[in-house]
Amino acid sequence: MTVHAKPVDRRVVALKDPSLLVGQAYVAGEWIDAPDGRTIPVTDPFDGALIRTVPDLGPDAARRAIDTAHAVQKDWARRTAKERSAILRRWYELILANADDLALILTTEQGKPLPEAKGEV
């Protein structure tokens, strides 16, 4: 799976890992664009600068996401508690490893103070 991240905003260029800011939606295990190419601009509330655009998806994408989640939940439930905890632990570690970048993205998108965003992460 290849994700093409194209940072636009000057603050986002400061990310250690610019691939964390994706201009696609993660639906049913893949990064997708809107089928009709429509997008929604994500702007910095401080100065209105464009950060990125994201797909303007409709009910079909939502239904696909719900149906896929319902189907894979059965596989998840069959895993042992130890397997599930290992997966969740790895996710936690990835969040911690990228906490600074995730906080910067939150701050840029929402306008909240960086320490507050980092606390949220």
Measure the CA–CA gap between 65 and 27, rounded to whole angstroms. Answer: 5
DSSP state of 20: G
27: number of Cβ within 10 Å: 18
Q: What is the pLDDT of residues 35-68, one digit of tens each?
A: 999 999 999 998 898 999 999 999 999 999 999 9
Instruction: State the average pLDDT for the chain.
Output: 89
Residue 9 predicted with pLDDT over 90: no
- Which DSSP letter does residue 13 get? G
* Helix H or strand E encompassing 66: helix 59-78
Name the burial class of residue 19, with classes exposed (0-12), middle (13-18) and buried (19+) by CB atoms within 10 angstroms of its CB.
Answer: exposed
Residue 13's pLDDT band, with cuts at 50, 70 and 90, is low
